[in-house]
Chains A and B, each alone.
Chain A
């Protein structure tokens, strides 16, 4: 008798991969970037599907297929989740202390740097005729 296709195994794999590759999209929005709950939700759904699929494959092997793919996808899911968790909970948090950064009440160091139109822009220019300046240091697009 032909055994049935064990779709939760494949569904779980698709959700796991989607959880990883959707990070670039979700990171565009602060609400899904500050803590990547949307990605973890996808991983959770993927894991649930994989567990269901593995129970089917190993619990009722005469009815369902998917033992080999189930194990391969489960292993991939564990690796993906481990890598993602490492990046989110460790790698992204390795930021220098910046203990020498200007503090509240101190004068901000002056600067004169080239702007995107190739003309120099100084802190003095920004401060003149303004009520203040928000200086944003960012990692850059390289």
Chain B
């Protein structure tokens, strides 16, 4: 998340929005945004409704066995069509902004 914030201007320049989704309530997201300086939306899905709809639930992996989201990144085009997906096999290894920017460059070259 921090790395995406650092490169946010490059996403802005391409007209691409960044959004984070987790089970955290808005208060936690507000605190994190203030602390880390996140300027993109952090959305709250405490009942894991959307997390389930995207099938990115990690059952029992949260505090006290709570259900949380597994790390996952989706790149959607302006029609909401998925153009790139990253489903990591290792919680510590997440998508980096340069990976997504590289995909965006390729899509632009392909005339999308």
* Chain A residues at the B interface, C-beta cutoff of 8 Å: 27-28, 30, 33-34, 36, 88, 92-93, 95-96, 98-111, 113-118, 121, 123, 126-127, 129-142
Which residue in chain A gives the minimum CB-CB distance to B57? A96
Partner among B26, B57, B70, B80 whose Cβ is within 8 Å of the Cβ of A116: B26
Other A-B pairs, 19, CB within 8 Å; known A34-B90, A133-B16: A93-B91, A96-B58, A98-B56, A98-B87, A99-B55, A101-B56, A103-B85, A104-B84, A108-B74, A116-B38, A118-B30, A127-B76, A127-B79, A133-B80, A134-B4, A136-B18, A138-B22, A138-B94, A141-B22
The B contact surface, by secondary structure, is mixed
The A contact surface, by secondary structure, is loop
The reply to whether A108 and B68 form a contact with Cβ atoms under 8 Å apart is no
Within the complex, the shortest CB–CB distance from B15 to chain A, in Å, comes to: 4
Interface set, chain B 54-82, CB cutoff 8 A to A: 54-59, 61-63, 68-82
How many residue pairs between the two chains, A and B, have CB atoms under 8 Å in the bound complex? Answer: 214
Which residue in chain B gives the minimum CB-CB distance to A99? B55
